[in-house]
Structure 1
Amino acid sequence: MKKHQIPKSDTAKTCFANSHALANPEHFMDCGVKGIMFLPRIVLALSLLAPAIYAEAAHKPEASYRSVASKKDSARAIPAAAGEDWPMWGGKNRDFLANSSGLADAWPASGPRKIWSRPLGDGYSAIAEEGGVLYTAFRRGSKDVITALDAATGKTRWEYEYENPFTNAFVEKVGPGPYAMPEVVGDRVVTASGTGKIHSLDKKTGRPVWSHDLYSEFNGTPLQYGYSCHGLPYKDTVIYLAGGRGSGAIAFRQKDGAVVWKGLEFTNTHSSPLLINVDGQAQVVTLAANTVFGFNPDNGALLWTHEHKTPYGLAVSTPVWAPGNLLFVASAYGEGARVLQLNQSAGKTSVKQLWYDNHLQLHIGTAIQHDGYVYFSRGYDGPVFMNAVELKTGKITWQERGFAKAQLLYADGKIILADQDGMLALCRVSPQKFEVLSKASVLESIAWTPPTLVGTRLYVRDRKTIEAFDLAR
Structure 2
Amino acid sequence: MFGFDELKLVFHPSENRRQPRPTTLFLMKTTKFISAISLAAIFAWQNLPAQAPARNHTSHDWPQWRGPQRDGKSLETGLLKTWPQEGPKVVWRSPLGEGYSGIAIANGLAYTMYDEGNDEYLACFDAKTGKRQWRVRTDRKFRNSWGNGPRVTPLVEGEMVYTLSAHAKLYARNAKSGAPVWQHDLVTKLNDEPPDLGYSNSPIIEGDLLLVTGLGSANRSLVAFNKNTGELVWSSHHDHPGYSSPIVVTALGLRQAVFFTGTEIASVSPDDGKIFWRHSWRTDSYENVATPVFIFPDKLFFSSAHPKDAGAAVLQMKIDNGAAGVTPVWKSNVMQHHFSSSVVHENFLYGTDRYILKCVDSRTGEQKWQQRGFGEGSLIFVDGHLLVLGTSGNLALVEATPAAYLERARAQVLNGKCYTAPALAHGRLYLRNESEIMCIALNANN
TM-score by shorter chain over 0.5: yes
Which residue of 345, 352, 355 corresponds with 1:370? 345
Letter in 2 for 1:363: H
Structure 1 residue ranges without an equivalent (≥5): 1-78
Output the amino acid matched with 1:276: V
**Which residue does 2:335 correspond to in 1?**
360
SS of residue paired to 1:341:
strand
- Secondary structure of the corresponding residue to residue 123 of structure 1: coil
The reply to whether residue 398 of structure 1 matches residue 369 of structure 2 is: yes
User: Shift of the alpha carbon at 1:249?
Assistant: 0.8
Is the CA contact 2:334–2:367 (under 8 Å) kept in the aligned structure 1? no
Question: Offset of 1:118 from its aligned partner?
Answer: 1.3
The 5-angstrom pairing of residues 376-415 of structure 1 reads: 376-379=351-354, 384-415=355-386
Query: Which of the numbers 68, 77, 81 marks the counterpart of 1:105?
Result: 81
What corresponds to 2:133 in structure 1?
157
Q: Retained in 2: the 8 A contact 1:149–1:155?
A: yes
Q: Does 1:141 align with 2:117?
A: yes
Q: Which amino acid aligns with 1:191?
A: T
Q: How does 1:60-139 map to 2 (within 5 A)?
A: 84-139=60-115
**Is 1:219 paired with 2:191?**
yes
2:413 maps to what in 1?
A: 442
1:21-420 matches, within 5 Å, as 84-168=60-144, 170-171=145-146, 174-175=147-148, 177-242=149-214, 243-334=216-307, 335-344=310-319, 348-379=323-354, 384-420=355-391
Letter aligned with residue 328 of structure 1: F
- 1:314-372 CA deviation, whole Å, 9 max, x = no partner? 11100000113110000001341000011247862131101110342111112010101
Going from structure 1 to structure 2, the CA distance change for 1:235 and 1:220 (only over 3 Å counts) comes to farther
Query: Aligned to 1:422, which of 393, 398, 415?
Result: 393
Quote the Cα distance in structure 2 between the aligned partners of 1:409 and 1:289: 25
Per the normalisation by structure 1, the TM-score is 0.79
Instruction: Measure, in 2, the Cα distance between the counterparts of 1:268 and 1:106.
Output: 43
Q: Counterpart of 1:120 in structure 2: which amino acid?
A: L
Task: Provide the aligned C-alpha RMSD in A.
Answer: 1.6
Distance 1:360 1:452 in 2: 23
> Do 2:210 and 2:224's aligned partners in 1 also have CA atoms closer than 8 Å?
yes
Residues in 1 aligned to 2:342 and 2:69: alpha-carbon distance in whole angstroms: 14
> Which has the bigger relative contact order, CA under 8 A and spacing at least 6?
1
Runs of 4+ in 1 over 4 A off after TM superposition: none
Asked whether the 8 Å contact 1:221–1:267 carries over to 2, the reply is no
Contact 1:180 1:228 in 2 (8 A): yes
Give the alignment's TM-score, normalised by structure 2: 0.83
Native 8 Å contact 2:430 2:439 kept in 1: yes
Instruction: Tell which structure's C-alpha radius of gyration is larger.
Output: 2
Sequence identity percentage? 32
Equivalent position amino acid for 1:157 in 2: Q
1:190 Cα deviation after fit: 0.5
Q: Which whole-Å deviations, capped at 9, do the CAs of 1:388-434 have from their partners, x for residues lacking one?
A: 11111111111122221111110011100111111111111211211
Secondary structure, counterpart of 1:217 in structure 2 = helix
Superposed CA offset, 1:175-207 (max 9, x none): 2x1111111033211101111111110111100
SS in structure 1 at match of 2:285: helix
Q: What amino acid is aligned across from residue 443 of structure 2 in structure 1? A: A
CA contact (8 A) 1:166 1:194 kept: yes
**Unmatched segments (≥5 aa) in structure 2:** 1-56
CA distance in 2, matches of 1:150, 1:265: 41
Q: How far 1:221 sits from its partner (Å)?
A: 4.8
CA contact 1:284–1:295 (8 Å) conserved in 2: yes
User: For 1:433, what is the secondary structure of its paired residue?
Assistant: coil
